[in-house]
Amino acid sequence: MYRTFVSAIFVAIATTCSAQDYDIVITNGRVIDPETGLDAIRNLGINGGEISAISEFAMDGSIEIDATNHVVAPGFIDLHAHGMNLGDMRMQAMQGVTTVLELESGILPIADWYAEMERQQTPLNYGASAAWTFGRIAAFTGEGPVAELSYFQDAQRFDDWKTEIADPLRMLELLDLVEQGLKEGALGIGVNAGYAPGYGQKEYFALANMAADYGVATYTHVRYASNLEPQGSFEAIKELIANAALTGAHMHICHINSSSLEDIHATLDLVERAQAQGINITVEAYPYGAANTVVGAAMFSGDGWRERMSSTAQNFQLGADRMTEEELADYQNNEPGTFVTWHFLDENDPDALALLDASVTHPAVMIASDAVFWSYLDESGAVLNYEGSDWPLPDNVFSHPRSAGAFTKILRSYVRERGLLSLEEAIGKMSLMPAQTLENFVPQMRKKGRLQVGMDADIVVFDPKTVADLATYENANQPAVGVQTVLVNGTLVVENGELRIEADSGQPIRRQLQR
């Protein structure tokens, strides 16, 4: 009897110890959870892609990650990422990003895009909105839409979809295409209004109404970016807020920094007033004084565009070099779909840098990279998107530095070097705030952006003393440093600062399909 009793106790103890073994254990890290305010040395236990335990006590795991002197944070969520190829995702992973979402521009048809993404290697979680511009192009050209970037680039040679008000038949067609995207699980409506500023007021209002009816958000690159009135940045932000107020739709403002140019204080005041009135507006910015866009964008056309944008050809950069007036004219006339970097603020000018800082540090503004594609010049000089699987990326590819360093630049410049944000504030802007922007209509996001038991194991571990962006405008092809570990759904994507080439743990972020 005694032996039986002792044996039973031994089995119970053994079972309990076994239950405390984890797939992965992260030990001795400074764990920061932006939702609960936890900021303490803790150990994390991970099982089956979820956080199973957070404790002061020791744990055992099949894989043990020593996070001593490192910060353990929720993986960063990028609401504004255009690059979705393997190389794009790998560069994002190296700076701690675990989820990349194409929301500003979006894509159509949504079902085709998700099907193609599921066939690819995807180290990060991914998702997209329904693209208003794709619907508009299709309605005006009678072709498509096709769920490829080239569809948008090729359409740059046509002006009618950019500049003309849609007649009733075209309006119906484009709205039907967008609505079909929502039924196929899109994460809202991408309204890239700056690329087609000739749309009518009723069209934008109809998109906001549709978003309200479906309970989703719109993500808008506003109609105008200009320091001068009329048709200035202030007017464009005001238009968005009016539609949100009238329809009750949640409307998200993309890159308020580049949309506002030098008028950022006035546009941020509009946002504050709207939010104080309970209007559902959310806002993002990226920490750079240069944008990346197609050289044939509507904002770089028409009488007086140089004055409105305070720009000459020297504000445009292709690869490592600034453009001449002759090169700018050539690309605009013959290759208008070419992506270029456009410098709108000089970060070496203290006054200009202060304008950028105002957008990045504002409490209502979250961080999103607006990461763009990695590209290269072929033998004829054409710009092509890199779709290969080489790592490191080939030496000849180029992009905007935000594609490799937006989130680590926040940690380096805004937290460590200049002290404009606390570490807790910065992490919240890059993880919790993006998750909260979507979670009311995308249930998957309720388990992201937090370090709590039961949350998805999308986690970044970084050294706060060394984490940094290395990418520059002249050479963006330099991965971030100081990120020790990245987990996506409990699987290692970055280990000991090195990318795991085989990583394929990303999952689709998608709303429920409707018939």
pLDDT value at 21 more than 70: yes
Cα–Cα distance measured from residue 101 to residue 252, given in angstroms and rounded to the nearest whole number: 14
- Segment 222-243 mean pLDDT: 95
CA distance 114 to 29: 36
Length reported for the chain: 515
For 28: left if phi > 0, alpha if psi spans -120 to 50, otherwise beta; the answer is left
- Segment 25-47 mean pLDDT: 98
Q: Where are any strands of DSSP class E within 245-310? A: 250-253, 281-285, 290-294
pTM for the full predicted model: 0.93
Question: What integer pLDDT is reported at residue 10 of this predicted model?
Answer: 39
Q: What is the pLDDT of residues 388-406, one digit of tens each?
A: 999 999 999 999 999 999 9
**Helices marked H in 122-223 — which ranges?**
132-141, 149-154, 160-163, 168-183, 201-214
pLDDT for 371 beyond 90: yes
* pLDDT on residue 311: 87
pLDDT in tens, 173-228: 999 999 999 999 999 999 999 999 999 999 999 999 999 999 999 999 999 999 88
Q: Under 8 Å CB-to-CB from 144, ≥6 apart: which residues?
A: 108, 134, 137, 138, 151
Mean pLDDT throughout 495-501?
Answer: 98
DSSP state of 148: S
Mean pLDDT of 92-121: 98
The answer on pLDDT for 152 being more than 80 is yes
Q: What is the pLDDT of residue 383?
A: 87
Inter-helix orientation angle 264-276/233-247, to 10°: 10
Tell me the residue ranges of DSSP E strands in 400-495.
459-462, 483-488, 491-495
Number of C-beta neighbours around residue 308 at 10 A: 21
Q: Is the pLDDT of residue 159 over 60?
A: yes
Q: What is the mean pLDDT of the chain?
A: 94
